[in-house]
Amino acid sequence: MNKIMITTDMSKDKEIIIREGLIVAKKMQADVELLAIINKNLDFMPADIGMAFADQWEARKYMVQKELEVIKTAYPDVDIHIVVFVGDPQKAIIERAIEIEASIIVIGTHGRTGLSHLLMGSTAEYVIRHSPIPVLVLPLNNYIH
């Protein structure tokens, strides 16, 4: 059975990545793993969601999970499995895709250059260079918002 992994960093462009990935999934008649990895390497702003969490990483995971569940309900015709965890997105995307035997990875790129690319790195670029699984990259700076 085909399985597509759609990855998101929960940026403002997440709907584009998910929508385009789901178009591919429908054409391939594939199940979807919707993956969000909260980058453990970046500074973290504690979540204020009106609930008490002992661990702010757990609070962030909870928020992301709920946000992705809302998106999932908008696509009842696709079998979508949501996975959220804290880690290093570059390596974890590839490891998870191999683990679930994904047919393709769908990922967006913000097209950062210069200093912001140097500081933030490019998860998409890393995945493209290291993944043994085909990668569909969506250049988000080319989409009209």
Domains and CATH numbers, the chain: 3-142 (3.40.50.620)
Nearest of 91, 77, 97 to residue 130 by alpha carbon: 91
Verdict on whether the full-model pTM lies above 0.95: no
Phi, psi angles (nearest 5°) of residue 138: -105, 115
Question: Per-residue pLDDT for 49 more than 80?
Answer: no
**Are 144 and 15 contacting, i.e. CB atoms less than 8 angstroms apart?**
no
Give SS3 for 16.
helix
Residue 67: partners with Cβ closer than 8 Å, 6 or more residues away: 10
Torsion angle of C-alpha atoms 91, 122, 104, 99, degrees rounded to 10: 10
Q: How many CA atoms lie within 13 A of 10 on its CB side?
A: 19
Q: What is the SS3 assignment for 108?
A: strand
Best CA proximity match to 82, nearest among 128, 33, 124: 33
Q: What is the pLDDT of residue 96?
A: 97
In sequence order, what are the residues at sequence separation of 6 or more whose Cβ sits closer than 8 angstroms to the Cβ of residue 6?
17, 18, 21, 22, 25, 32, 33, 34, 35, 106
Q: What is the pLDDT of residues 60-103, one digit of tens each?
A: 899 999 999 999 999 999 999 999 999 999 999 999 999 999 99
